[in-house]
């Protein structure tokens, strides 16, 4: 196996982008050198040479798989690039509008001129990328059973973009846009961002480390230990458990809100820092002022130093803050410094339940139903049937659009979106709400794909 360790300095990145952004319309000729040079840029191993026995090949081009067809026959396919336990990659190569226009201007009938899969940004290109994604999934399904499902599917438009889909459950039944609907498509120019290069490198070297649930569990447990100390101190001081739980829940939500952009950046953490060395009553007043603004909304909050959105869920209608000793304020500040974008929101319900139950309070926030266990029920019961419907709707909509029946295409997608938005999910044993939250998250991911197709691809 050849190994590269080239550092990705800005000049190398720029040279790679400049070299490949002008490539076009020759997928087979361009993909392998593009893939090799990308590996060099990322500082990861290049694909191995192919050997006669496919079972030995763990990382290489043109990996053969056998399809079991519905009529009982078998056929062979070849994965453009495959790494066992990491990804299936399907390659295409589009062309830009300017290149197509120049081709037409200078004799577009020349049959020797190479045309790409489609002009980028058009419905034809979208349909080709969707088909490539479906093909990648079919390849993954056709892999030998002992290989398992790869966590990633990657669709590449050589010299233009990457599209990432992930399924960390390794069931092959919930590949969705990674990390989300806004950022799953990575343009070539985005390789200038070290975080993007690191993400693409980890897909090749340690794909499971990108599973957000792993980081969420680690951060959540670390934070929970600090909050458990605060909770015991407040209860020991005579505060009722319900009041302590409500106070800490408001703190938790405020930490989460500032990190996901619902509050001005860092305002809650800064406010806590400003309370160091102050009297406890000043801490109480500061928090209650902020939470009053969050309950009602404010064009300018003196506490936050900026506008505050109105949080209308009722959490801040009662906004009692409890005084903390300096050492416990320090624990709260440390908890606030965590990156709450990666904390599992499903912990909130469990945290509240444990805070209210004396039998559970000692393990405050340290134990909650793992996401994987929740998904074992949620995925087959709710998400998989919906994704099967969505695959059919996509195929119908793209076919209608390609045939020029744009209204029919949009109607098909909107009808599915309407169906999605009016679903009601019943959890008859609802305790902490974790099952409902995970279900909602997967539904929102699916909705993101629907909106993406409506807003961009069917115009």
Cα distance between residue 443 and residue 424, in whole Å:
11
Indicate if 31 and 121 belong to the same structural domain: yes
Indicate if 151 and 253 belong to the same structural domain: no
Q: Is 133 in contact with 90 (CB distance < 8 Å)?
A: yes
Indicate if 240 and 379 belong to the same structural domain: no
pLDDT at position 15 over 50: yes
Asked whether residue 2 is assigned to any structural domain, the reply reads no
Indicate if 358 and 294 belong to the same structural domain: yes
Which of 363, 395, 425 marks a domain boundary?
A: 363
Indicate if 202 and 217 belong to the same structural domain: no
| Token code pair at residue 454 | 């409506």
Cα distance between residue 278 and residue 326, in whole Å:
9
Q: Is 417 in contact with 452 (CB distance < 8 Å)?
A: no
pLDDT tens per residue, range 426-438? 887 666 677 888 8
Indicate if 356 and 260 belong to the same structural domain: yes
Indicate if 77 and 171 belong to the same structural domain: yes
Asked whether residue 4 is assigned to any structural domain, the reply reads no
Find the range with the poorest average confidence among 34-43, 98-107, 309-318: 98-107
Indicate if 54 and 93 belong to the same structural domain: yes
Give the per-residue pLDDT at 114.
47
Residue given tokens 């399924």 in the structure block: 167
Query: What mean pLDDT comes out for the span 431-447?
Result: 83
Query: What mean pLDDT comes out for the span 270-291?
Result: 95
Indicate if 28 and 147 belong to the same structural domain: yes
Residues in the chain: 459
pLDDT band at 22 (very low <50, low <70, confident <90, very high): confident
Residues pairing with 176 in the sheet: 166
Residue by residue, DSSP assigns 222-288 as: HHHHHHHHHHHHHHHTT--HHHHHHHHHHHHHHHHHHHTTSSSTTHHHHHHHHTTTS-HHHHHHHHH
Distance of CA 214 to the CA centre of its chain: 13
Which of 345, 363, 381 marks a domain boundary?
A: 363
- As for how many domains the chain has, the answer is 3
- Per 3-state DSSP, what percentage of the chain is helix, strand, and coil (rounded to 5)? 55, 10, 35
Indicate if 201 and 243 belong to the same structural domain: no
Indicate if 284 and 410 belong to the same structural domain: no
Give the per-residue pLDDT at 231.
85
Domain span at 257: 213-363
Which of 335, 363, 391 marks a domain boundary?
A: 363
Asked whether residue 5 is assigned to any structural domain, the reply reads no
pTM of the predicted protein model: 0.71
pLDDT tens per residue, range 351-406? 655 555 555 555 554 455 667 778 888 889 999 999 999 989 988 988 888 788 88
Q: Report percent pLDDT > 90 for the chain.
A: 49
* Residue 245 CB-density burial (10 A; 0-12 exposed, 13-18 middle, 19+ buried): buried
Query: What mean pLDDT comes out for the span 96-122?
Result: 52
Q: Is 125 in contact with 117 (CB distance < 8 Å)?
A: yes
pLDDT band at 111 (very low <50, low <70, confident <90, very high): very low
Indicate if 29 and 165 belong to the same structural domain: yes
């Amino acid at each position: 196996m050849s190994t590269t360790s080239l550092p990705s300095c800005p000049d190398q990145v720029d040279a790679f982008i400049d070299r490949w952004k002008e490539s076009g319309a020759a997928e087979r000729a361009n993909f392998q050198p593009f893939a090799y040079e990308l590996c060099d840029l990322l500082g990861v191993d290049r694909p191995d040479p192919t050997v006669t026995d496919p079972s030995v090949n763990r990382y290489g081009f043109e990996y053969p798989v056998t399809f079991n067809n519905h009529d009982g026959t078998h056929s062979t396919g070849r994965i453009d690039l495959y790494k066992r336990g990491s990804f299936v990659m399907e390659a295409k190569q589009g062309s830009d509008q300017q290149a197509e226009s120049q081709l037409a201007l200078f004799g577009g009938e020349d049959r020797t001129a190479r045309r790409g899969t489609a002009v980028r940004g058009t419905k034809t290109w979208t349909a080709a990328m969707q088909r490539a994604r479906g093909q990648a999934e079919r390849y993954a399904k056709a892999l030998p059973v002992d290989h398992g499902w790869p966590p990633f599917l990657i669709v590449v438009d050589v010299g233009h973009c990457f599209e990432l889909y992930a399924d960390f459950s390794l069931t092959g039944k919930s590949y969705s846009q990674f990390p989300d609907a806004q950022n799953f498509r990575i343009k070539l120019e985005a390789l200038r961002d070290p975080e993007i290069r690191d993400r693409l490198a980890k897909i090749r070297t340690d794909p499971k480390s990108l599973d957000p649930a792993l980081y969420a569990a680690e951060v959540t447990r670390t934070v929970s230990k600090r909050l458990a100390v605060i909770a015991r101190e407040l209860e020991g001081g005579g505060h009722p458990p319900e009041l302590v739980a409500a106070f800490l829940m408001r703190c938790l939500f405020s930490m989460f809100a500032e990190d996901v952009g619902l509050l001005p950046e860092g305002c809650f953490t800064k406010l806590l820092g400003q309370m160091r060395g102050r009297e406890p009553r000043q801490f109480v007043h500061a928090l209650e002022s902020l939470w009053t603004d969050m309950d009602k909304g404010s064009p300018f909050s003196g506490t936050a130093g900026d506008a505050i959105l109105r949080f209308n869920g009722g959490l801040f209608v009662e906004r009692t803050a409890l005084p903390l000793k300096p050492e416990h304020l320090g624990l709260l500040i440390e908890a606030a410094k965590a990156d709450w974008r990666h904390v599992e929101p499903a912990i909130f319900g469990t945290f509240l339940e444990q805070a209210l139950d004396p039998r559970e309070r000692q393990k405050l926030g340290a134990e909650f139903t793992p996401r994987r266990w929740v998904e074992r029920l949620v995925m087959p019961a709710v998400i998989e049937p919906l994704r099967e419907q969505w695959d059919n709707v996509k195929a119908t909509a793209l076919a209608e659009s390609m045939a020029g029946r744009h209204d029919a295409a949009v109607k098909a997608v909107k009808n599915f979106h309407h169906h999605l938005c009016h679903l009601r999910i019943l959890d008859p044993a609802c305790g902490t709400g974790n099952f409902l939250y995970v279900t909602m998250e997967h539904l929102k991911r699916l909705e993101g794909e629907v909106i993406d197709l409506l807003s961009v691809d069917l115009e």
